[in-house]
Amino acid sequence: MRERRAATIPDVNREVTLPLIVDDRGTLQVAAADVSKLLRTLGGRWLHLVEAGADGLDEDTVAALTIELAKLADRIDVACIAHSSGGTP
């Protein structure tokens, strides 16, 4: 039997919730679309904090990290598209 759980990632004012499913063998399953969305959301929130003038955040560092998170999300999406179409990325 599969068990559904949710993981929450705290943010300054909100939380992001990812549906988690543990299969019969205890293996954690997370939808790739949820992971890529989380990565993009995290980067976007960091940028928003910088734009709002949050203390302690370096604009260049946040921009670089946000770009890398978006690249990782893109690679996840491409791999999923390739897998579902029977190809390899």
The pLDDT value recorded for residue 25 is: 84
**Whole domain around residue 50: which residue ranges?**
3-84
The pLDDT value recorded for residue 19 is: 66
Answer whether residue 26 is part of any domain.
Answer: yes
Total number of domains constituting the chain: 1
Answer whether residue 89 is part of any domain.
Answer: no
- Asked if pLDDT for residue 35 goes beyond 80, the answer is yes
Residue written as tokens 């990812």? 18
Which residues on adjacent β-strands are paired with residue 9?
Answer: 16
Transcribe 18-67 into DSSP letters.
EEEEE-TT--EE--HHHHHHHHHHHHHHHHHHHHTT-TT--HHHHHHHHH
62-83 pLDDT, tens digit per residue, is: 999 999 999 999 999 998 888 7
- Which H or E run includes 10? strand 3-10
Q: Are 28 and 2 in contact (CB under 8 A)?
A: no
